[in-house]
């Protein structure tokens, strides 16, 4: 017999009874009226109107609790209303009130079976030879159901056989035997048994329901509908027949009929939980996902293990972009039905959407093999493999899927796009050529082939196919726009413009032409003309993302940042789910120094939106800009999981890890970023930054070796490899390696500077000086080398040469702040007037420069301008509180100003430190003693 899947629908009937009692025409103490009310309740029950029946019966019992027949009928009503607990309770009360026990055995037994109390059925329902044949058969059949519930099929078979011996037309026994036949796979026998029970059995309604359920499970929806129709005609529980027929009609492609059945069932039982379930299914099939979600979630709240509802909620959540929720529902569903392939596919798609490529691949693995070749599974598995950096395996899966797709053009195009992801545009070209040969009239295939050629750098092939496209569809703007792109690739800008203009003649504002032509015109110096074209594209296609982004870029380039922000905000307000607009707006906010607003904007993305890789990238940038390095690392790790082949993702993660001082993460992802795109300047720059931050010699050496394996000819890495020797404790080996490198690459600046530093490190100042002077012969105007030379002269205590070096610098760069400041310091005693002029110039260039502030303060103090000197030296000391020399200068100014206590307080922490003016500090401190 079909198992009812909804919870009791007659619970909580008290308020309905209370209101019904107000209008119930029942005169107290009138036996005739009570009998009439009982008969009306019986009629309502037989017609399937269980709520009116229950209302009337409870009213009778409230007036006369001893009305045993009313209570017995109420037990039957509860049972048909799928509330076996209440049915058992009312049956027990009726028995205590003296209602004939035999009349209640069936109701009570059915209630116990429905509650799963199989042991009690076996213990309490005992067949007796003195029982009427029909009752004895029903008792035996109920025992058979209980044995089945206890997984004792042989005992069940024996009980059903005995029941039919007692009464050959007993429907419960026939239905039980049909269930056993179905379990053995003998569907023909099951149908024959159920048909016999339905046409000549004791309970035809139950038999028709069971037959309908059997046909429905075999996807024979027309036959199931016919059986449920007969059940509705013959059963007091016809509401169940309407509900079951609604499901069969829905799956059979008749949503209107399903709605009609749901309405009929609702009229009989408005409180049925299955009404929400079926209306949810109808809304799901109609694509009304929010409504379907609300209805099915309400149902699952009451029936948390209902499989199909869980599956539908998983599919709905996926469609709504709520991928984590989709996983939760589908995981729960697959626990009950692990072989449900459709659920496996949707779950895999949800995992892919969340960047869980390995989890998706593991889920799909049992469904991939020579014996199981489902095209959609292969496509999903290929996407997972691409995400796992297993391009060759992904391409193989896609080729099998393409063979299975045959001449299905949309599928072939989608698979070609995935092939491009897996191994580049060349991998997809053969599939597209074959598809085009099979469907030469499909312009969209030719356009995708043109795009593949363009991406692969095959301008001539793209141009050839574009000409074919224009010949094939001379009035289609897509063909003309594709021809324009092919001309661009072939470096024929005038022909490209002509093709784009032709497309715009065919369809004014056509975005594929207007946007590309606008870019060409903007690059040619006509932003106003580009703006007109972008705006035309927006008129033709309101909300076009690229047009909005290009217009915002024009605004920003013109300095109208506020206008750009407003344009992007308006576009996003009209399309909140547009990840590209949200990312662009967030980037612009970061550029305008408002990363907090960018983060807030990203947090407002619709559910599932922040899983978008583009938004993850921008969120990581915003977190970095906000100083949230550790959070940025977590965000960018999610990005790398979603896009393991993105060099930009790895490099940004390395930068975040650098800020977070996460050595292992920054090393791994800097190296991976360079491995993915060795020619990317940002990759090398990030790798060198990370190298500079690594202090552990072993880690540094390992990283250098890994980077050099990718870029063996890179000089910066060769320098870094030499410097690892110094970090490892062998500066002489470092120097020798750099000598060789400089000899091999005498004009390379990185090798030259590293060698100078290495010579300085080992104390070989004359050689370092010689190398710089030799370099300056070939590069006489290189100011940085002159500054390096001046510093070497200072270390060698050669003030005249140092001063001349600064003079040479200023002859080439009169506003060189460091040279001005250092020369002022150098001349402070020999030429204080000139020194003061230089110091004033240096500070004017950067009033916040602590070194320049200190120099000018010292010079002013020597000149006797104590007040200004005190102010400047106090500012310098506050800016560099750990600089002992500046602190000493400040103490000197305090002492000169007469503040002896303050001077001693400034000097006291310096006394235990080593710095050039240490002895002078001691002397000043002692002179200030009270």
828: helix, strand or coil: coil
Neighbours of 706 (CB within 10 A): 17
How confident is the model over 887-896, as pLDDT tens digits? 999 999 999 9
CA pair distance 510, 541, nearest whole angstrom:
8
Question: What mean pLDDT do residues 103-112 have?
Answer: 76
C-beta of residue 793 within 8 angstroms of C-beta of residue 772? no
Q: Which of the residue ranges 82-91, 593-602, 741-750 would you say has the lowest mean pLDDT?
A: 82-91
Question: What mean pLDDT do residues 493-512 have?
Answer: 94
DSSP H/E element including 921: helix 918-927
How confident is the model over 708-727, as pLDDT tens digits? 888 888 888 888 888 888 87
Q: Name the band, by pLDDT with cuts 50, 70 and 90, for residue 13.
A: very low
Q: Name the band, by pLDDT with cuts 50, 70 and 90, for residue 45.
A: low
Neighbours of 43 (CB within 10 A): 12
Q: Please list, in sequence order, all residues whose beta carbon lies within 8 angstroms of the beta carbon of residue 406, skipping any fewer than 6 positions away.
A: none
How confident is the model over 164-223, as pLDDT tens digits? 999 999 888 899 998 999 999 999 999 999 999 888 888 888 889 899 899 988 989 999
Residue 112 has pLDDT above 90, yes or no: no
Predicted local distance difference test score (pLDDT) of residue 527: 93
Instruction: Read off the tokens for 781.
Output: 């105007």
CA pair distance 904, 895, nearest whole angstrom:
8
- Scanning 696-845, the segments in alpha helix (DSSP H) are 697-710, 715-727, 731-744, 749-761, 765-778, 783-795, 799-812, 817-826, 832-845
Question: What mean pLDDT do residues 275-300 have?
Answer: 87
Predicted local distance difference test score (pLDDT) of residue 9: 36
Most confidently modeled of 195-204, 333-342, 477-486? 477-486
Output helix, strand, coil percentages for the chain, rounded to the nearest 5: 75, 0, 25
Name the residue with higher pLDDT: 4 or 628. 628
Q: Please list, in sequence order, all residues whose beta carbon lies within 8 angstroms of the beta carbon of residue 358, skipping any fewer than 6 positions away.
A: 384, 388
User: Token match 């009209």: residue?
Assistant: 574
CA pair distance 512, 287, nearest whole angstrom:
30
Q: What percent of the chain has pLDDT over 90?
A: 43
Q: Name the band, by pLDDT with cuts 50, 70 and 90, for residue 601.
A: very high
For every residue of 486-510, DSSP letters joined together read HHHHTT-HHHHHHHHHHHHHHSTT-
Residue 910 has pLDDT above 50, yes or no: yes
How confident is the model over 123-175, as pLDDT tens digits? 888 888 888 888 888 889 889 888 988 999 999 899 889 989 999 998 888 99
Residue 78 has pLDDT above 80, yes or no: no
Q: Name the band, by pLDDT with cuts 50, 70 and 90, for residue 842.
A: very high
Predicted local distance difference test score (pLDDT) of residue 18: 35
- Looking at residue 6, the DSSP 8-state letter turns out to be S
Q: Please list, in sequence order, all residues whose beta carbon lies within 8 angstroms of the beta carbon of residue 88, skipping any fewer than 6 positions away.
A: 75, 108, 111, 112, 115
Bridge partner list, 372: 369
C-beta of residue 534 within 8 angstroms of C-beta of residue 520? no
Predicted local distance difference test score (pLDDT) of residue 516: 94
Q: Please list, in sequence order, all residues whose beta carbon lies within 8 angstroms of the beta carbon of residue 930, skipping any fewer than 6 positions away.
A: 900
Neighbours of 101 (CB within 10 A): 11
Task: For the chain, give the mean pLDDT.
Answer: 86
C-beta of residue 37 within 8 angstroms of C-beta of residue 56? yes
CA pair distance 740, 595, nearest whole angstrom:
47
Question: What mean pLDDT do residues 55-74 have?
Answer: 77
How confident is the model over 773-799, as pLDDT tens digits? 999 999 999 999 999 999 999 999 999
Sign of CA dihedral 141, 147, 152, 158: negative
CA pair distance 735, 727, nearest whole angstrom:
12
Q: Which of the residue ranges 135-139, 480-484, 606-610 would you say has the lowest mean pLDDT?
A: 606-610
Predicted local distance difference test score (pLDDT) of residue 890: 93
How confident is the model over 235-249, as pLDDT tens digits? 656 778 888 898 899
Q: At what angle do helices 221-234 and 204-217 cross, to 10 degrees?
A: 160
Sign of CA dihedral 280, 285, 291, 293: positive
Predicted local distance difference test score (pLDDT) of residue 875: 95
Residue 73 has pLDDT above 80, yes or no: no
Q: What percent of the chain has pLDDT over 70?
A: 94
Residue 761 has pLDDT above 80, yes or no: yes
Predicted local distance difference test score (pLDDT) of residue 414: 78
Question: What mean pLDDT do residues 292-310 have?
Answer: 83
The 3 state secondary structure assigned to 568-623 is HHHHHHHCCCCHHHHHHHHHHHHHCCCHHHHHHHHHCCCCCHHHCHHHHHHHHHHH
Q: Where in the chain are the domains?
A: 834-929
Predicted local distance difference test score (pLDDT) of residue 48: 64
Predicted local distance difference test score (pLDDT) of residue 25: 37
Burial of 382 (0-12, 13-18, 19+ CB in 10 A): buried
C-beta of residue 388 within 8 angstroms of C-beta of residue 361? yes
Predicted local distance difference test score (pLDDT) of residue 422: 67
Residue 67 has pLDDT above 80, yes or no: no
Predicted local distance difference test score (pLDDT) of residue 14: 37
Predicted local distance difference test score (pLDDT) of residue 489: 93
User: Token match 């300056």: residue?
Assistant: 776
Instruction: Read off the tokens for 422.
Output: 């897996």
Burial of 679 (0-12, 13-18, 19+ CB in 10 A): exposed
Predicted local distance difference test score (pLDDT) of residue 29: 45
Predicted local distance difference test score (pLDDT) of residue 31: 67
Angle at 349 between CA 343 and CA 350, to 5 degrees: 90
Sign of CA dihedral 327, 333, 337, 341: negative
Angle at 662 between CA 645 and CA 634, to 5 degrees: 55
- Looking at residue 908, the DSSP 8-state letter turns out to be G
How far does CA 759 lie from the centroid of its chain?
A: 53
Most confidently modeled of 66-70, 375-379, 877-881? 877-881
- CA 924 to each of CA 321, 699, 872, 873: distance values in angstroms, whole numbers, following the listed order: 73, 48, 20, 17
Predicted local distance difference test score (pLDDT) of residue 520: 93
Instruction: Read off the tokens for 109.
Output: 């037994």
- CA 348 to each of CA 292, 342, 516: distance values in angstroms, whole numbers, following the listed order: 22, 10, 37
CA pair distance 516, 510, nearest whole angstrom:
10
Predicted local distance difference test score (pLDDT) of residue 102: 61
CA pair distance 237, 332, nearest whole angstrom:
31
Question: What mean pLDDT do residues 411-426 have?
Answer: 76
Neighbours of 898 (CB within 10 A): 9
Predicted local distance difference test score (pLDDT) of residue 296: 86
CA pair distance 86, 74, nearest whole angstrom:
9
Residue 407 has pLDDT above 80, yes or no: no
Instruction: Read off the tokens for 466.
Output: 């574009």
CA pair distance 241, 254, nearest whole angstrom:
16
Largest CA distance in the chain: 135
Name the fold adopted by 834-929.
1.25.40
CA pair distance 75, 92, nearest whole angstrom:
9
């Amino acid at each position: 017999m079909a198992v009812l899947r909804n919870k009791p629908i007659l619970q909580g009937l008290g308020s309905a009874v209370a209101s019904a009692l107000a209008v119930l025409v029942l005169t107290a103490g009138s036996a005739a009226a009570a009998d009439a009310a009982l008969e009306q309740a019986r009629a309502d029950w037989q017609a399937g109107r269980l709520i009116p029946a229950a209302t009337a019966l409870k009213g009778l019992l409230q007036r006369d609790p001893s009305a045993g027949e009313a209570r017995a009928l109420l037990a039957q009503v509860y049972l048909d209303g799928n509330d076996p607990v209440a049915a058992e309770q009312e049956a027990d009360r009726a028995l205590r009130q003296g209602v004939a026990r035999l009349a209640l055995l069936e109701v009570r037994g059915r209630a116990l079976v429905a509650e799963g109390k199989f042991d009690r059925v076996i213990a309490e329902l005992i067949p007796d030879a003195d029982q009427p044949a029909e009752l004895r058969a029903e008792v035996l059949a109920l025992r058979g159901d209980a044995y089945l519930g206890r997984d004792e099929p042989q005992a069940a078979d024996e009980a059903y056989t005995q029941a039919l011996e007692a009464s050959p037309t007993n429907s419960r026994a026939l239905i039980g035997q049909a269930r056993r036949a179905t379990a053995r796979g003998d569907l023909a026998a099951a149908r024959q048994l159920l048909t016999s029970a339905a046409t000549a059995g004791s309970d035809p309604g139950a038999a028709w329901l069971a037959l309908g359920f059997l046909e429905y499970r075999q996807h024979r929806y027309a036959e199931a509908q016919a059986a449920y129709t007969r059940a509705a005609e013959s059963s007091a529980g016809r509401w169940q027949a309407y509900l079951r027929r609604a499901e069969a009609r829905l799956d059979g492609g008749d949503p209107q009929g399903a709605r009609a059945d749901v309405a009929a069932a609702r009229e009989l039982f408005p409180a049925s939980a299955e009404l929400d379930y079926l209306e949810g299914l109808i809304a799901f099939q109609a694509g009304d996902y929010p409504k379907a979600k609300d209805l099915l979630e309400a149902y699952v709240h009451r029936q948390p293990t209902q499989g199909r509802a869980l599956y539908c909620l998983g599919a709905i959540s996926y469609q709504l972009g709520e991928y984590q929720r989709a996983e939760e529902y589908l995981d729960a569903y697959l626990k009950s039905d692990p072989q449900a392939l459709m659920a496996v596919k949707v779950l895999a798609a949800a995992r892919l959407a969340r960047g869980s490529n390995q989890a998706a691949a593991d889920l799909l693995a049992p469904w991939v093999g020579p014996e199981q070749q489902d095209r959609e599974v292969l496509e999903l598995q290929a996407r997972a493999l691409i995400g796992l950096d297993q391009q060759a395996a992904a391409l193989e899966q896609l080729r099998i899927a393409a063979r299975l797709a045959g001449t299905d053009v949309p599928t072939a195009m989608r698979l070609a796009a995935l092939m491009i992801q897996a191994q580049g545009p060349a991998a997809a070209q053969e599939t597209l050529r074959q598809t085009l040969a099979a469907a030469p009239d499909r312009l969209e295939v030719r356009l995708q082939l043109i795009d593949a050629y363009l991406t692969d750098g095959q301008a001539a092939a793209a141009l050839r196919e574009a000409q074919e496209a224009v010949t094939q569809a001379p009035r289609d703007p897509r063909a003309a726009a594709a021809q324009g792109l092919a001309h661009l690739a072939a470096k024929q800008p005038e022909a490209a413009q002509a093709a784009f203009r032709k497309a715009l003649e065919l369809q004014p504002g056509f975005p594929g032409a207007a946007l590309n032509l606008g870019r060409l015109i903007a690059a040619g110096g006509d932003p106003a003309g580009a703006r007109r074209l972008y705006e035309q594209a927006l008129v033709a296609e309101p909300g076009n993302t690229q047009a909005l982004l290009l217009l915002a870029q024009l605004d920003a380039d013109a300095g109208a940042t506020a206008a750009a922000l407003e344009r992007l905000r308006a576009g996003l307000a009209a399309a909140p789910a547009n990840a590209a607009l949200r990312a662009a707006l967030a980037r612009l906010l970061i550029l305008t120094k408002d990363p907090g607003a960018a983060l807030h904007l990203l947090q407002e993305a619709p559910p599932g939106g922040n899983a978008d890789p583009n938004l993850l990238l921008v969120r990581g940038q915003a977190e970095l800009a906000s100083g949230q390095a550790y959070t940025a690392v977590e965000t960018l790790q999610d990005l790398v999981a979603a896009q393991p082949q993105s060099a930009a993702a790895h490099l940004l993660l390395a930068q975040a890890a650098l800020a977070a001082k996460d050595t292992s993460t920054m090393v791994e992802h800097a190296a991976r970023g360079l491995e993915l795109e060795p020619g990317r300047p940002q990759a090398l720059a990030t790798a060198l930054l990370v190298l500079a931050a690594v202090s552990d010699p072993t880690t540094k050496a390992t990283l250098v070796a890994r980077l050099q394996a990718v870029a063996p000819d890179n000089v910066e890495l060769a320098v870094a490899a030499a410097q690892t020797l110094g970090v490892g404790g062998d500066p002489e080996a470092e120097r020798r390696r750099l000598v060789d490198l400089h000899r091999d690459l005498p004009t390379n600046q990185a090798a030259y500077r590293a060698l100078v530093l290495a010579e300085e490190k080992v104390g070989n100042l004359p050689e370092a000086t010689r190398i710089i002077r030799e370099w300056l012969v070939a590069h006489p105007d290189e100011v940085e080398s002159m500054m390096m030379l001046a510093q070497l002269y200072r270390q060698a205590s050669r003030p005249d040469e140092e001063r001349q070096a600064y003079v040479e610098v200023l002859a080439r760069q009169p506003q060189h702040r460091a040279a001005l400041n250092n020369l002022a310091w150098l001349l402070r005693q020999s030429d204080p007037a000139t020194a003061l002029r230089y110091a004033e110039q240096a500070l004017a260039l950067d009033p916040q420069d602590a070194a320049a502030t200190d120099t000018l303060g010292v010079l002013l103090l020597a000149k006797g301008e104590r007040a200004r000197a005190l102010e400047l030296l106090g500012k310098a000391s506050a800016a560099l509180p750990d600089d002992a020399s500046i602190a000493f200068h400040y103490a000197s100014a305090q002492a000169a100003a007469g503040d002896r206590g303050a001077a001693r307080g400034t000097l006291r922490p310096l006394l235990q430190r080593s710095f050039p003016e240490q002895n002078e500090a001691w002397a000043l401190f002692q002179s200030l003693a009270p």
